[in-house]
Amino acid sequence: MKPFLAIVRRDVRLAFRQGTDTLMTLAFFVIAVVLFPFGVGPEPNVLARIGGGVVWVAALLASMLALERLFQTDYEDGGLELLALAPMPLQIVVLAKVLAHWLATGLPLAVVAPMLGVLMNVPPDVFPVLVAALLLGTPTLSLIGAIGAGLILGARRGGVLLALLVLPLFIPVLVFGVSAVEVAAQGFSPKASLLILGGLLLAALALGPWAAAAAIRQALE
């Protein structure tokens, strides 16, 4: 566990020391949600109906901003090759870097989401469901994104290619994340949608690190 935690601490410290990834992700998230009331109008009923979907779409797009650099920096300076040759399995290295990425980008999105929910007239009793859905969904986005980030290593215009690769895989997370919020807003139990989000997270934990590690090995050869 010590090497695993060391990688997590290192990446989180670098992310917050540089600040660009976290600030860029949060700024995009806030701006994207704030612009919607200007586009659709300030009517409370309209905002309440689309609020959960708007917050989720903005969170999904914001989480993609830093994915391209998940492995890119270590790939360029040779650190990724050293990590691949280390005794620790590459899958565990990938999992540590994904956890650090989520702590620096995904977790702040879940923390900020209720404040933006107020702007979108989301009912206050739905906020716990919104946060829970994001806490289950954003790690899945990071794990799926890690596969795409591994596949684009060394490619030109990697950001565009990454979006094309991972966006179709993000759709189930988006659908059930929005469904949980909408069902809760209608007064029904969001348990089924949250359980499906949990299942998607477990599946991503089981498959994502291995697929990303295989993509990284292919890029390093």
User: Do 136 and 197 touch, CB atoms closer than 8 A?
Assistant: yes
Angle of the 127-151 helix axis to the 90-101 helix axis, nearest 10: 140
User: Do 147 and 215 touch, CB atoms closer than 8 A?
Assistant: yes
Close Cβ partners of 204 (under 8 Å, ≥ 6 residues apart)? 139, 140, 143, 144
- Residue 106 DSSP label: I
- Joined together, the tokens standing for residue 6 give 């060391």
- Joined together, the tokens standing for residue 180 give 């949980």
Q: What is the pLDDT of residue 19?
A: 65
Indicate the domain borders of the chain.
Answer: 2-220
- Joined together, the tokens standing for residue 103 give 């702590």
pTM over 0.85: yes
Close Cβ partners of 129 (under 8 Å, ≥ 6 residues apart)? 180, 181, 184, 190, 194
Cα torsion at 175, 181, 186, 191 (round to 10°)? 90
Q: In the block, which residue shows the tokens 């359980």?
A: 195
- Joined together, the tokens standing for residue 93 give 């290295």
| pLDDT tens digits in sequence order for the chain, 221 residues long | 788 888 888 888 887 777 677 788 888 999 988 888 888 777 878 888 888 889 999 999 888 887 877 887 777 777 777 877 778 888 898 999 899 989 988 899 999 999 988 888 888 889 999 999 999 999 999 999 999 888 888 777 667 788 888 889 999 999 999 999 999 988 888 999 999 999 999 999 999 999 988 888 887 77
